[in-house]
Amino acid sequence: MSQLLESEENTPLLKGDLGSDGTLQDAAREVKSRWRSIRVMYFTMFLSSMGFTIVITSIWPYLQRIDDSSSASFLGWVVAAYSLGQMVASPLFGLWSNHRPRTEPLVCSIVINVVANILYAYVYLLPSHNKYYMLVARAFVGFGAGNVAVVRSYVAGATSLKERTSAMANMSACQALGFILGPAMQAGLSFIGETGVSLGVLDLQLNMYTAPALLAACFGIINILLVLLVLREHRVDDHGRQISAINYISEERVGVMDSLDGDIDQVAVITSNILFFIVLFIFAVFETIATPLSMDMFAWTRRQAVLYNGIILACIGFESIMVFLVVKVLSKRVGDRPVLLGGLAIIFCGFFILLPWGNEYPKIQWSDILNSSTHGLISPTQSSNSTLEPTGCPAQQMWCLFTPAIQLGQYITSDILIGMGYPACNVMSYTLYSKILGPKPQGVYMGWLTASGSAARTLGPVFVSQVYTSLGPRWAFSVICAVVLGALILLAAMYHRLIAFSVRYGRIHE
């Protein structure tokens, strides 16, 4: 990762960009300080990603353990709560960062995140309504993650137009690294088991469900220290010339920036938000349904589902980092828009492969209707093993009886394709967006972009949990294929408008 970042400091755009006393030495110090601050933003993005994924594969079994009345539909709401909190917080933190030093919203958001993760670890202790407290905890974890808008606006403002794709790709690589290590840490911590160890002093049961959240809280404390000790305000224009950070964060400077010649293309802004919404929506569907789908189709136990899906998601994360390396090179050769178009096409193929077909059907979990069955459908062997954890596709999901099983090969192939297409779409979406905004203050705009992504993460889990539970994977993945196809059509129609602000007004040529 360090090799990815080292070359950025040596950008030729800053040659001769003098410090306040007119010396190259001061300019060099400014460059080093700027990239140190950007790396703190990379780390913050990494922790935001890890804070979400470190518990994603264990939410469902943890939910079942603390409240056995929980359904797959409620799981959708728990997963969506994170994104709902982020959607509400993102514009607020973005607006805050436009008028005040970024340190303030960053520290505030991370403190909220730390406290919420601790609450998540303790929800099992509450006497009743445990699942609702889990919902609240995840909502506040998401609210704290609203600082992603601040991170993106900072990196966009602290990089020149030429540097930005590379910086955004590196930020996405750090996000992917969090995506990797989150499930990997969860998979490693699964060996603690469901019982774990009891810490009497803290009145805490440290197990495979609570340990990841507490680890995320510890990382959050480290992040706060880095923000306070290392982060400095930096701002450069599209050519890489330094802008006074003190003036920039003042309302007077914001007014000056708003008065620059040329208006932002609002159609391109809306289109970018829609595309980003769709990209995040389809991936939220994928990560939400992974555990229930694998438990239904492959008859995995809760522990197996957490372990195996953690490994799979970690592998996808490693694949994503490779994709980011390719994207940095490929976008310089063909441009940002073709990469986004190709990524959407690959995602379409990934979900199309998941459509069920064939003559094999999933193992049915009859134990859920053991007491109500009157048709002699339960064998003596199944009955005698009723004390074991039931596995397979629950019989109350009627589609299990007539929908062909998704094979493990289909599932893995889909993972590979989605792991290839999603990172390309993700980094190109907000790289294009930051270039469309140009030299204007981007805090609020990035807040809306993050909010649109959070809305997708809110609606995606709710949609897929409802449709999957009621109608099954055939309907769920068919609808997703239609949504991706719509995104491809929209991108093709708006292709000519998705260009950088400076290119649009002829200040820089593509």
Q: Going residue by residue through the chain (510 aa), what tens digit of pLDDT does each one get?
A: 444 444 454 444 334 444 444 567 777 777 788 888 888 999 888 888 787 778 877 888 888 888 877 777 788 788 878 878 888 888 888 888 878 888 899 999 999 999 999 999 888 888 778 888 999 999 999 899 888 888 888 887 788 777 777 787 788 778 777 777 787 788 788 788 877 788 777 778 888 888 888 988 998 999 999 999 988 887 776 665 666 544 444 443 444 444 445 678 889 889 999 999 999 888 888 877 888 888 888 888 877 887 888 788 778 878 888 888 888 788 888 888 899 999 999 999 999 998 888 788 888 876 544 444 444 444 444 443 444 677 888 888 888 888 888 888 899 999 999 989 988 888 888 788 888 887 666 667 877 887 888 788 778 877 887 888 888 888 888 999 999 999 999 999 998 888 877 776 655 545
Q: State whether the Cα torsion 52-58-61-62 is positive or negative.
A: negative
CA 366 – CA 377 distance, rounded (Å): 8
**Which residues are bridge partners to 40 per DSSP?**
none
* Residue 145 in tokens: 């993650």
Q: What are phi and psi of 206, to 5 degrees?
A: -90, 105
Element containing residue 416 per DSSP (H, E): helix 408-437
**Which residues are bridge partners to 365 per DSSP?**
394
**Which residues are bridge partners to 394 per DSSP?**
365
pLDDT in tens, 47-77: 887 877 788 778 888 888 888 777 777 887 8
- The gap between the terminal CA atoms of the chain, to the nearest Å, is 28
Element containing residue 62 per DSSP (H, E): helix 59-66
Helix, strand, coil % over all residues of the chain, rounded to 5: 75, 5, 25
CA 184 – CA 171 distance, rounded (Å): 20
Residue 178 has a pLDDT of 79
CA 307 – CA 411 distance, rounded (Å): 16
Burial class (CB in 10 A: 0-12, 13-18, 19+), 6: exposed
Place of tokens 């099983």: 405
- C-beta neighbour count of 267 within 10 angstroms: 12
**Do the Cβ atoms of 385 and 365 come closer than 8 Å?**
no
Place of tokens 């003596």: 380
Comparing CA positions, the residue from 279, 207, 225 lying closest to residue 55 is: 207
* Residue 126 in tokens: 């509450």
CA 291 – CA 56 distance, rounded (Å): 9
**Do the Cβ atoms of 208 and 58 come closer than 8 Å?**
yes
- C-beta neighbour count of 10 within 10 angstroms: 10
Pairing state of beta strands 235-236 and 242-243? antiparallel
Superfamily classification of domain 24-366+391-504 = MFS general substrate transporter like domains (1.20.1250.20)
CA 87 – CA 448 distance, rounded (Å): 8
* Residue 318 in tokens: 């490693």
Pairing state of beta strands 204-206 and 235-236? unpaired
SS3 439: coil
Residue 192 has a pLDDT of 84
**Do the Cβ atoms of 288 and 456 come closer than 8 Å?**
no
pLDDT in tens, 15-47: 444 444 456 777 777 778 888 888 899 988 888
Residue 130 has a pLDDT of 84
